[in-house]
Amino acid sequence: MNTVWALAGVVIKELYRRKDFYVLFVLTAVMTLLMGSITFFNDPRIASYLKDICLLLIWISALVIAITTTARQIPAERENRTIFPLLAKPVTRGQVVAGKFLGCWLASGIALGVFYLFFGVVSASREHDLAVIQYLQALWLHWVMLAIVVGLALLGSLVFAAPSSNATICFIVVLGILLLGRHLNQVALQQPEPLRTVVYSIYFLIPHLEWYDIRDLLLYDHPGLRWTDCLLATLYAGVYTAMLLLGAWLLFRRKPLHA
């Protein structure tokens, strides 16, 4: 476990020593503050549009950070040949996969924490209160969802040769699931038979990332989720991530290190 943490530590150091995160954060902050600087119809109490935009930017930025950080990890190890001194140490390939996953997930978590802190400040400054439970639930579920995304990108980085194509594909898949995942069963039912089963199977196989998007609850002052639901969603994500990591490990185990 110490090995895994050590590997994760390197990934986290990488995150805060690169500029990507800062660029995205500043961009999000600037756009939010810019939108916040306008008063619509002389009513300074209007807040939800601002929260909405801020959360949307946070979702995009978090996906960018999680996917790009993860997608480059193993390819960079191979390209810079750091994988050789690494594997010459008492480190198994499984530990490399686990360490990279943990590092990327924690790194996205740290980034997410910073982003949500900003959101909290923006939200509180407008409305003078914050729905703490919903806020924490949204943050937690968002982070849990990123575990699946990181797992996906890690698996992808072992399947696709170029990190850029991997990142692009991951993006399309994740956005696709977020936007369409909920409705695939409905789409399936409208298809003729052979296609119908195919689409329905996809519906059952994909990770349902859209569950973890509870922005609406946070935006419009709905009551929070039940904690059991949170727990179940967390378990689902855990199982899914474990499967993705298992797949990544199986691939990585056989992978020749020389490209």
Closest to other proteins by CB, 16 or 121: 16
Beta carbons within 8 Å of 57's beta carbon, 6+ residues apart = 27, 28, 31, 32
Taking the complex as a whole, the smallest distance from the CB of residue 249 to other proteins amounts, in Å, to 14
Taking the complex as a whole, the smallest distance from the CB of residue 72 to other proteins amounts, in Å, to 5
Closest to other proteins by CB, 211 or 247: 211
Closest to other proteins by CB, 48 or 246: 48
Closest to other proteins by CB, 41 or 194: 41
Taking the complex as a whole, the smallest distance from the CB of residue 146 to other proteins amounts, in Å, to 16
Closest to other proteins by CB, 182 or 243: 182
Taking the complex as a whole, the smallest distance from the CB of residue 41 to other proteins amounts, in Å, to 4
> How far is C-alpha 119 from the chain's CA centre?
17
Angstrom distance (rounded) from CA 93 to CA 251: 10
Closest to other proteins by CB, 12 or 246: 12
Taking the complex as a whole, the smallest distance from the CB of residue 246 to other proteins amounts, in Å, to 19
